[in-house]
């Protein structure tokens, strides 16, 4: 993409999902691969059916190397019952380093060649899973 002083906006909406199951153990899994001109991630929602709290790590994967961005606790049954809400990673107070847009919403830019990846630090309980949903747009 050529350089310009004109603002750019995402051109294609993306929705990406990933499930972490017991068989995945602590394997780092790809969630969103940046588009050719980059990607803006505006939300990452995590839901769990696990009966234990799980720590979920978020990585920027560049040239095959996983660079940790943060680790956040996902409460047991988050988003699976009405008493425990799903976790909104982008807006979590545990992650103060994201950028803010003019409306005060947090976001994350991914450059071409960068993949947003996830992993749990311990294996998910048998017959349970963690579901991660990311939303944003490609430039």
* pLDDT 10s digits, 79-124: 999 999 999 998 887 777 788 888 888 999 999 999 999 999 999 9
Helix/strand/coil for 4: coil
- Residue 31, pLDDT > 70, answer yes
Pairwise CA distance, residues 129 & 123, whole Å: 10
Residue 95 lies in a domain: yes
Strand order from edge to edge, sheet including 114-120: 29-33, 114-120, 54-62, 65-74
Pairwise CA distance, residues 20 & 17, whole Å: 10
Where do the H-state alpha helices sit in the chain? none
Give how many domains the chain has, as a whole number: 1
Q: Could you list the residue range(s) of the whole structural domain that residue 90 is in? A: 22-138
5 compared with 81, residue with greater pLDDT? 81
Residue 77 lies in a domain: yes
Task: Name the CA dihedral angle for 32, 36, 40, 46, rounded to a multiple of 10 degrees.
Answer: -10
Residue 43: give its domain's CATH number.
Answer: 2.60.120
């Amino acid at each position: 993409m050529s350089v310009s002083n004109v603002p750019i906006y995402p051109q294609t909406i993306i929705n990406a999902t990933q499930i972490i199951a017991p068989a995945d153990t602590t394997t780092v899994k790809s969630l969103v691969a940046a588009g050719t001109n980059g990607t803006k991630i505006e939300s990452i929602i995590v839901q769990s059916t696990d009966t234990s709290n799980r720590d979920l790590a978020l990585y920027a994967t560049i040239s095959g190397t996983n660079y940790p961005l943060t680790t956040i606790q996902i409460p047991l049954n988050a988003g699976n019952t009405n008493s425990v809400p799903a976790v909104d990673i982008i807006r979590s107070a545990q992650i103060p380093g994201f950028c803010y847009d003019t409306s005060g919403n947090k976001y994350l830019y991914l450059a071409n060649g960068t993949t947003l990846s996830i992993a749990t630090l311990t294996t998910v309980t048998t017959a349970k899973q963690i579901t991660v949903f990311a939303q944003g747009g490609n430039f």
